[in-house]
Amino acid sequence: MARNVLESSLLGAGFSIIFQILCRILTFGINAYIVRNVGREVLGIMNVRLLLLESTLLFLSREAINRAALSANSQQRDKCSWAQLINQMWLTVLICAALCAPCLYSWLHWLSNVDAIYKAQYEFACYAVALSCVLELMAESTVFVAQVFCFVKLKILLNTLHILVRSVIFLWIVIGDQSVAIYAFAIAQLASSITIIVSQYGFFHYYIKRFNRFKLQQSRKGKSPRTQAELTSWERTMFEHMEDFPFTRLSEMLPGVTENKGAFFNKELQTLTLSFVKQGVLKHILTEGEKYVMSVSPVLSFSEQATYDVVNNLGSMAARFIFRPIEDSAYFYFTQTISRDIKLDKQPPERVRQACSVLHNLLLAVSSIGLLACTFGQSYSHTVLQMYGGDDFVAGGLPQSLLQWHCLAIYLLSINGITEGYMFATNTSREIDKYNFIMAIFSISFLVLSYILTGIFGPVGFIFANCINMLSRILYSTYHIRLQYQPLALNPLLGLWPGKLFGGTLIFAGCSCFWYRNAALGTHLAIGFASGLLCLGSWALAHRDLVRLAWKYARRIKIE
């Protein structure tokens, strides 16, 4: 492709961070309204039980297929046709439909019961969430095409529309009648899925129509002035470097429509997908393990689950706002830059050095953010939670303790996301299968630890188990990275060391904020703000080269 993958990845990460911040502010506002006006039990049913059903269906249906297809598109274009890729993406719909039956039976009959007053709403919501997942995956082929051809702004725009539709419909119903909050949640999920389908196919219908006109113009000798005028400057920008865009009709994004000289599915792509399936199941257990423990066993009530979920969401703001968009863009960049089946010393040296530099800088950036969260979270957890849920919510001290310990998990999460993501992007199928065995051990250990530690420490036990699990995964992935770069005398893991200046400033800032934690609110916030600026300034001073590099790329990326 003529498109710059690194710049597109950076642009995608930047837009995703902004999108996550705006949408999560809206989501947190809705959750705060529910905590104060509807009740924690309803919030626990929606945010733990129903969203777990959604994440289970979507993750197991598309994660492995999407990751494998991205790798195949980058490295096997001569072996895997676009027709096979589109056919493969439509498998997500069939897989999701097949998973709906066992998942719905489990959610309705096996998991711990909800109160009788919410049972009818809960049953309706389970069916609605399952249907919404199937509908959403019917647009997965267009989402994949948009990702491959770097339609970054389209992704952010449509995701924003999706969140807005869901939030507006939910609030419109709940404000009118607070007793039907779970019904409102289900209806909003269905409406947002329909929005995804209409918006995705609507855009590509328009884009392909205009792109065909652009190609016709380019094929005419002399370039007709009339046709030139029909294309806006925005459209001409959209069509630049798109000579390899393979679609001439919207129907070609449906399965079996595009002419395919080979098999209906690609055998190598299916093999890679199966490797990611095993890996994906284990990773999903590690990601959502505490919710499964909550749902399967009566360890916590729905009210306690809601408290844990609220604190977990607040504590995961950095992960949702910053780490996840960076991880997604980094994974895309590494899959397009590093070949899986070739050793690094056999690949183009310039691309390998660039990948090493990108990995080093990513580790430096995310680990520094994690250290900031860990430092300031100890002194400001109570303040944040009181502003969010009120005095009744923070009574007893459990939410504050949860959030403080969660700040340690944020630091580990920041490192694990990048190191493990790089490993997934560059491992061979055999290495992925080997890691699947290790992940199985991690998954079983995590679930056992979650159950045991929760029985001993309460909800904080979930965080302890998660920290132990992430530390184990970090040690494994960093060992893999060190071995990979050792023959080249390169070490991107040096990015995990933030430097003496920044580290010393963090210690000073953390002690200052903790000392003034019981001061007046205005003084407490002012000390935190000043300390935060001091930490950011010391980081920028210690890493001037990285700041200049970031500014250079920011100026190069033009946003029309």
DSSP one-letter string for 327-380: HHHHHHHHHHHS-TTS-GGGS-HHHHHHHHHHHHHHHHHHHHHHHHHHHHHHHH
Do residues 496 and 363 make contact, with C-beta atoms less than 8 angstroms apart? Answer: yes
pLDDT at 459: 80
d(CA 499, CA 150): 35
How many C-beta atoms lie closer than 10 Å to residue 66's C-beta?
A: 20
DSSP state of 284: H
pLDDT at 558: 46
Do residues 537 and 509 make contact, with C-beta atoms less than 8 angstroms apart? Answer: no
d(CA 93, CA 193): 13
Contacts of 309 (CB under 8 A, 6+ apart): 43, 44, 47, 48
Q: Which of 135, 134, 136, 140 is nearest to 87 (CA)?
A: 140
Chain centroid to Cα 206, Å, comes to 28
Residue 489, phi-psi category: left (phi > 0), alpha (psi -120 to 50), beta (remainder) = left
Do residues 96 and 58 make contact, with C-beta atoms less than 8 angstroms apart? Answer: yes
pLDDT at 395: 73
Q: Is 226 exposed, middle or buried (0-12, 13-18, 19+ CB in 10 A)?
A: exposed
How many C-beta atoms lie closer than 10 Å to residue 22's C-beta?
A: 15
For 58, 276, 281, the CA distances from 2, given in Å and listed in that order, are 32, 29, 35
pLDDT at 559: 44
d(CA 463, CA 233): 52
DSSP state of 257: T
Orientation of helix 140-148 relative to helix 51-75, angle to 10°? 50
DSSP state of 346: G
Q: What angle do CA 46, 50, 51 make, to 5 degrees?
A: 90
Which secondary-structure segment (H or E) carries 219?
helix 181-219
Q: What angle do CA 103, 454, 181 make, to 5 degrees?
A: 50
Amino acid code (one letter) for 29: G
Do residues 178 and 160 make contact, with C-beta atoms less than 8 angstroms apart? Answer: no
Per-residue pLDDT of the chain (560 residues; tens, 9 = 90+): 344 566 666 665 666 666 666 666 777 777 777 777 777 788 889 988 999 999 999 999 998 888 888 776 554 444 567 888 888 899 999 999 999 999 999 999 888 788 889 999 999 999 999 999 999 999 999 999 888 887 877 887 888 888 889 888 998 999 889 899 999 999 999 999 999 999 999 999 988 888 888 777 766 654 554 444 455 555 566 666 566 678 888 888 888 776 666 667 777 777 778 877 877 777 777 777 778 887 776 667 777 788 887 787 777 766 666 787 788 778 888 888 888 778 887 888 888 888 898 899 899 989 999 999 889 988 888 888 887 777 777 776 778 888 888 888 889 988 998 998 888 888 877 787 788 788 888 888 888 888 888 878 878 888 899 899 899 999 999 998 988 888 888 889 988 888 889 999 999 999 999 888 888 888 889 999 999 999 999 999 988 888 887 777 666 554 44
Question: Six-digit token pair at 21?
Answer: 């911040």
Do residues 304 and 465 make contact, with C-beta atoms less than 8 angstroms apart? Answer: no
Question: Six-digit token pair at 110?
Answer: 């096996």
Contacts of 475 (CB under 8 A, 6+ apart): none
For 325, 330, 413, 415, 542, the CA distances from 366, given in Å and listed in that order, are 12, 12, 9, 7, 15
d(CA 283, CA 261): 36
pLDDT at 2: 40
Contacts of 531 (CB under 8 A, 6+ apart): 376, 508, 509, 512, 513
How many C-beta atoms lie closer than 10 Å to residue 414's C-beta?
A: 29
Do residues 314 and 388 make contact, with C-beta atoms less than 8 angstroms apart? Answer: yes
d(CA 17, CA 29): 18
d(CA 188, CA 483): 48
Q: Which of 24, 16, 4, 20 is nearest to 326 (CA)?
A: 16
End-to-end CA distance of the chain: 21
Tokens 């680990």, residue located: 367
Half-sphere exposure in the Cβ direction for 201 (13 Å, CA):
17
Q: Which of 96, 71, 94 is nearest to 271 (CA)?
A: 71
Q: What is the CA radius of gyration of the chain?
A: 24
Amino acid code (one letter) for 92: T
Question: Six-digit token pair at 47?
Answer: 């945010």
d(CA 471, CA 454): 19
